[in-house]
Amino acid sequence: MPTNNTPFLRMFLIFLGLLWFDSFTGLEAATGKLASVPGLYVFGDSLVDAGNNNYLAISISKANYPHNGVDFPNKKATGRFCNGKNAADAIAEKFGLPLPPPYLSLKGPFKEEKKKSAAMTGVNFASGGAGIFNSSDHKLGQAIPLSHQVNHWLSIHQELTSQLGPAEAQNHLSKSLFAVVIGSNDLFDYFGSFKLRQKTNPQQYTQSMANELKKQLKRIHDTGARRFLVIGVAEIGCIPGKRAKNSTVHECDEEANTWCSLYNEALVKMLQQLKQELQNSMTYSYFDNFKSLHDIISNPARYGFTDVTSACCGNGKLNADIPCLPIAKYCSDRTKYLFWDRYGHPTEAAARTLVDLMLSDDSQYSSPLTLAQLISL
């Protein structure tokens, strides 16, 4: 008597169909599984610095002391301006990559193998205090401005090309992610300089920031980079240090926030123009850090926070009278605080929340693509 193979055949065909369906580009974002990224290369300021400033001999813009790192593995103060891991680390972990090491940690004798390995999976060039412009911080040896960070990238690009060969290196770079988180310090410079404000109005200054950033993005693109994550400037006027100066009500500094909005508008237009100029050979996700932070501050409970005005680490009004120094006090539950210190650096919990928003299917914060969509192309 012949056996009935229909159930087996049906299951086999379903299995084949699933394999075929899984082969479609972009499925990862739809199913919740992230596409793979071979390397993550990070440019920016203290929001994503992994410790480059530790290697600047005379810089005081460092975070390699307690209470920074209190929640980092082994409670190590690595130079991150955070209680634990920052947004660049969170992005790396989302894609299963090692944390990108600071570029300056790869220089010197006996570092060749470490540099070769990092060149493949990602390097962090960011520097606390850095700006788009070569500011006074650079002249005084306090930070590494964006143009110099790109110079450092050229060294890693050379290493990568020598390892893989030009064709394979190009393939690797076209699939990698280049994250750029910078602009806040240029605005702080503008706020604090009467001379700068006399010389140029806010519209002119923020447009010049966008123009200079465009030059540096083109330099990175020229080496083979194709996927960019560009993060806008947040509500600087709402950081604890700004609120603490605002009489007894501790409201946001709305003038500072207006200047941030001006820059973000110039940035969005610049990115659109750059993509056209490069004949669509670059793709990008712009993340609206201003709107995301505004929404968290407006509805903290939705995101799991209870304090979105004070610094976790500091002292005095809003814990914002002093930086997060060893003599400062720090909060017991860092997961409930949005800000780590008076300068508005996010706590690890806040950084992870922001990265989740970047990867969310909700496109209200990202344009023209979400980060998940960008890396699925």
Other beta carbons within 10 angstroms of residue 337's beta carbon come to 26
Partners of 40 in the beta sheet?
122, 177
- If DSSP codes are grouped into helix, strand and coil, which group holds residue 43? strand
* 363 carries an active-site annotation: no
Question: Is omega for the bond preceding 67 within 30 degrees of 0, making it cis?
Answer: yes
CB 104 within 8 A of CB 118: no
Q: Which of 49, 137, 253, 341 is catalytic?
A: 341
Other beta carbons within 10 angstroms of residue 134's beta carbon come to 16
Question: Is omega for the bond preceding 368 within 30 degrees of 0, making it cis?
Answer: yes
Q: What is the C-alpha separation between 143 and 35, in angstroms, rounded?
A: 34
315, amino acid identity: N
293, amino acid identity: L
* 345 carries an active-site annotation: yes
**CA 193 from chain center: how many Å?**
26
CB 356 within 8 A of CB 303: no
Q: What is the C-alpha separation between 73 and 51, in angstroms, rounded?
A: 15
* 148 carries an active-site annotation: no
Q: What is the C-alpha separation between 258 and 268, in angstroms, rounded?
A: 16
Q: Which of 67, 138, 152, 345 is catalytic?
A: 345
Burial tier of 186 (Cβ tally within 10 Å: 0-12, 13-18, 19+): buried
Q: Which of 46, 176, 285, 366 is catalytic?
A: 46
Q: Known catalytic residues?
A: 46, 341, 345
